[in-house]
Amino acid sequence: MTRRRIWVAGHKGMVGSALTRCLEKRGDEVLKADRSVVDLRNQIAVEVWLKQNRPDAILFAAAKVGGIYANDTFPAEFIYDNLAIETNIIHSAHAADVNRLVFLGSSCIYPKFAPQPIKEESLLTGPLEPTNEWYAIAKIAGIKLCQAYRKQYGRRYISVMPCNLYGTHDNFDLTTSHVLPALIRKFHEAKIAGGKRVVVWGTGAPLREFLHVDDLARGVVFCLDNYDEYQHINCGAGSEISIAGLARTVARAVGFNGELVFDTTKPDGTPRKLMDSSRILELGWKPEISLEEGIADSYRWFLAHEEDLPMRYGKSVA
Ligand code: GFB
């Protein structure tokens, strides 16, 4: 296979670094643009960089991301940053004559009460979950940008929708993280401090679908090679677990034997978001990392990097 030059936009994030590992393993050349060189919210900077570098394809993993609290607290950044990054990259890719691009969305694009498992066709059929509608609207705009440049200019731009992700290079800052890394950190710190109780946000009842980021990276690269349709495509693990069940699984993996306390003053978010991934499964991709293996892998990564991680608000044990 010929060696391709691929720009991974957002190469330092959890998804971008997994994509970089996956492409480099295949022998592709990965182009990287550091934030200090190109602020992706700056239209001119993106346009100039893309015209100078002209990759064969773009894997679009750059985004302002965060868990339920961050989404609900910083709606302006979640909608503005993401819209700006998307319009800049997708329009500039077209202007630089880059004909292949894979945009990454999120399962929160679907209506809060979409029929489960959620098919791609459920997009724009009902109201969104309020805690993350700003991010969801921006991600829907990204899908529509890809479709617009495909429809009008014949660009081979596609969109892949992952479910909730976790893994290497996750964010363990409790105010901005997603649930899985937050629980790893909370249980670990409680274990070390001899804490008896760990607080889990919400009722514990919501159901979520978790995919290891290395499985997602293989799925995205698989779509780059094998998928070229107007319709976006789901990429999920195919099974779901309640937040209470997840908390018990993470506690076991970390070795915390104390009590779980559910803080119902914190939001649950959407009750359930299991995607129907039959499209990508039929094409030939499938997940390979079980939740138990993935959590063990994430915990090892956390232990190896604990000292270097940004933990802005101090330790989690009261
Ligand atoms: O992972 P998470 O923040 O994102 O939360 P969402 C999932 C569930 O876990 C919610 C509960 O019901 C939380 O209340 N939870 C329990 C916790 N304990 C914790 C904790 O310590 N930290 C966090 N963060 N949650 C995000 C969206 O939704 O998922 C984004 O806001 C995006 O837009 C992303 O789609 C994948 O699944 O609720």
- Who's near 56: CB < 8 A, 6+ residues apart? 4, 5, 6, 98, 100
Q: List, as one string, the DSSP characters of 241-260.
A: EEHHHHHHHHHHHHT--SEE
Q: What is the pLDDT of residue 1?
A: 63
**Ligand 1 pocket mutation pick from 107, 140, 179 by most atoms within 8 angstroms of CB:** 179
15 Cβ closer than 6 Å to some ligand 1 atom: no
pLDDT in tens, 24-45: 999 999 999 999 999 999 999 9
pLDDT in tens, 110-122: 999 999 999 999 9
Q: Whose CA is nearest to atom 29 of ligand 1?
A: 67
For residue 295, which phi and psi values (nearest 5 degrees)? -65, -40
Q: What is the pLDDT of residue 176?
A: 95
82 Cβ closer than 6 Å to some ligand 1 atom: no
Distance CA 230, CA 158 (A): 7
**Would you please indicate which residues are annotated as catalytic (active-site) residues?**
135
List for the chain the helix, strand, coil content (%; round to 5): 45, 15, 40
178 Cβ closer than 6 Å to some ligand 1 atom: yes
- Positive or negative: CA dihedral 49, 54, 59, 60: positive
pLDDT in tens, 143-195: 999 999 999 999 999 999 999 999 999 999 999 999 999 999 999 999 999 99
pLDDT in tens, 51-84: 999 999 999 999 999 999 999 999 999 999 999 9
Could you tell me the distance, in angstroms and rounded to a whole number, from the CA of residue 26 to the centre of ligand 1?
Answer: 33
Q: Whose CA is nearest to atom 21 of ligand 1?
A: 182
Q: What is the pLDDT of residue 311?
A: 59
Mean pLDDT (the chain) is 96
Q: What is the pLDDT of residue 2?
A: 80
Residue with tokens 């979520």: 208
The mean pLDDT of 125-133, rounded to a whole number, is: 97
Q: Locate all alpha helices (DSSP H) within the chain, ordered by sequence.
A: 14-26, 43-53, 68-73, 75-95, 133-153, 179-193, 213-226, 243-254, 278-283, 291-305
179 Cβ closer than 6 Å to some ligand 1 atom: yes
Answer yes or no: pTM beyond 0.95: yes
pLDDT in tens, 5-30: 999 999 999 999 999 999 999 999 99
Q: From the alpha carbon of 70, which atom of ligand 1 is closest?
A: 31
Could you tell me the distance, in angstroms and rounded to a whole number, from the CA of residue 85 to the centre of ligand 1?
Answer: 23
Q: What is the pLDDT of residue 309?
A: 79
Distance CA 278, CA 285 (A): 10
Could you tell me the distance, in angstroms and rounded to a whole number, from the CA of residue 257 to the centre of ligand 1?
Answer: 23
Q: Whose CA is nearest to atom 16 of ligand 1?
A: 201
Q: Whose CA is nearest to atom 36 of ligand 1?
A: 164
Q: Whose CA is nearest to atom 7 of ligand 1?
A: 179
